[in-house]
Amino acid sequence: MAVTIKDVAEAAGVSISTVSYTLNHSGPVSEEKKQKIMEAVRQLGYVPNGMAKNLKSRKNGFIGYFAHSLYGVVYGEVLRGIESEMEKNGQEMIAAKCGPIQDITHISRLLLERMVDGAIIFSETIPNDLVNLLANEQCPVVVLDRELEAPFVSTVLIDNENSAYRVGEYIHSLSLSRVACLVGRGFDGEHRLTGFRRAVEAFGLDCPAEWCIEAGWEEKTAYQETIKFIRGGHRPEVIFAFNDEMAAGCIKALQDMLLRVPEDVSVIGMDDIERSAVLSPGLTTVHRPLCELGEIAARTLIGMMKGEQSRRIVLPTSLIQRESCIKNWTH
């Protein structure tokens, strides 16, 4: 007899509606109850719609790619790499964005009901407990830009922390000291900030906490925040933007205030998007292998679908030196 949602509720000691809220992410549930429900689901082998009996023999022929967005420079490059590798292997793919809560509900159901044979997840909005729940021998998962150690889950990420540390090292090599940062939240932002803070400590850079400015990863916000910061009487020697889009907004803001880049303020970005080479001046930045990230994620998932073990893969980066930074000859 198929395991029902009622069985899960009884095993976890909660109501059926609480189980439903947890699995569909459609209502508030305490962390303690959520853990009990997830454990009951795993122990009982519960799958919605009574499909558990067919899981071992069922193959759909599709893998799923679920990302915070399917557009934009970063997400587009990763998707390009995934598509390329899938085509080489004759593997069909469906893709969906994970934005509002209703998107998460639909995607959670799709994954829980095993409508795909494997999944690549590039979104922090799909929580770790759901990834742990859906990942099994018949549906392995690859997560991008997050640390997660679990059975049938592989992690592929770019070395954000050491990349930001190397930016600090490079700034020090230019005899620059006063540094401001345009930062973004989330996994990438936290690791970049941690790495850069290590460099500040190691090389004696002058970067007070209030000089780390939240700019939301967006060019427009970075433009506005840079103007506000400079007009507030601050004059850094260099601004390190945590992505190239914020760096572009920063350069535009400085130039609109009649400050020269790099003669008055140097600017460094991260990602090495195509546009960074044609900015004026050309943007010094950290090259992140985004297309390769997608290719390796797809290759890893296909291998796991054939029985290979889960893996943790960290991709290195490289510093691309262009014209937006200048050595401080006065030191």
pLDDT in tens, 173-191: 999 999 999 999 888 999 9
Q: What angle do CA 118, 289, 69 make, to 5 degrees?
A: 55
Distance, in Å, from the CA atom of 242 to the CA atom of 135, rounded to the nearest integer, reads 32
DSSP state of 284: B
pLDDT of residue 34: 82
Predicted TM-score (pTM) of this structure: 0.80
pLDDT of residue 211: 97
Tokens of 200: 């500040």
Q: What angle do CA 124, 125, 130 make, to 5 degrees?
A: 95
Tens digits of per-residue pLDDT, 286-330? 999 999 999 999 999 999 999 999 999 999 999 999 999 998 765
Residues in the chain: 331
pLDDT of residue 54: 42
CB 250 within 8 A of CB 219: no
Q: Within the chain, which residues score under 70 in pLDDT?
A: 1-2, 24-27, 47-60, 99-114, 329-331
Residue 74: which of 276, 254, 215, 266 has the closest Cα?
276
Residue 73: which of 310, 260, 271, 262 has the closest Cα?
271
Residue 260: which of 314, 313, 216, 326 has the closest Cα?
326
Tokens of 146: 């997050």
Distance, in Å, from the CA atom of 284 to the CA atom of 270, rounded to the nearest integer, reads 8
Residues 6 or more apart whose CB falls under 8 angstroms from that of 10 comprise none
Distance, in Å, from the CA atom of 34 to the CA atom of 104, rounded to the nearest integer, reads 16
Distance, in Å, from the CA atom of 40 to the CA atom of 34, rounded to the nearest integer, reads 10
pLDDT of residue 253: 98
Residue 3: which of 54, 45, 63, 56 has the closest Cα?
45
Residues 6 or more apart whose CB falls under 8 angstroms from that of 31 comprise none
pLDDT of residue 201: 97
Distance, in Å, from the CA atom of 163 to the CA atom of 316, rounded to the nearest integer, reads 8
